[in-house]
Structure 1
């Protein structure tokens, strides 16, 4: 049995669970956004005013940044992986110990 692959496998499993929880969190956030804002739009239209656009935009911006954090900049993600690899290459090329 190869003992060196076991910690890597466990680390990969933890990262996979962490990323899956983050994605599930975003889906829950998006579902609550849709449900609450549908109610706000109904209230807004029922009162004859169009004030619901403000919570839609504000919360939508928050949902957008949450999505960026989960989908684009997630630990182990492709963008994050490329950035880490680039920094690793720069540090190795400099030949300095950062600590």
Structure 2
């Protein structure tokens, strides 16, 4: 039995929208990161300096943390639902002696 079969269709839809929104938020963040830092790199290159690497490095760390929160949390949510379903099945087996 799938861990998500115990959820109602409305709950599945809400969960799917939440996950898709979290992923879309990270993709937008990554796109803005690339565009802004490309502009900063171009500006720094025109000035003959290399200062743009510092904001890019700091922002890259923030983008990595954002990605870890989104993608690792989503995987752990799936793990939680599968563990929850196993516990439900174990409790059902204890309650039903036949």
TM-score by length of 2: 0.71
**Runs of 4+ deviating beyond 2 Å:** 79-86
For residues 80 and 57 of structure 2, the distance between their equivalents in structure 1, rounded to whole angstroms, comes to: 31
C-alpha RMSD of the superposition: 2.4
For residues 81 and 31 of structure 1, the distance between their equivalents in structure 2, rounded to whole angstroms, comes to: 27
Aligned to 1:80: 77
Aligned to 1:21: 21
- Structure ranking higher on relative contact order (CA contacts 8 Å, 6+ apart): 2
For residues 78 and 34 of structure 2, the distance between their equivalents in structure 1, rounded to whole angstroms, comes to: 32
For residues 29 and 20 of structure 1, the distance between their equivalents in structure 2, rounded to whole angstroms, comes to: 14
Q: Aligned pair count?
A: 81
- Unpaired runs of 5+ residues, structure 2, are 91-98
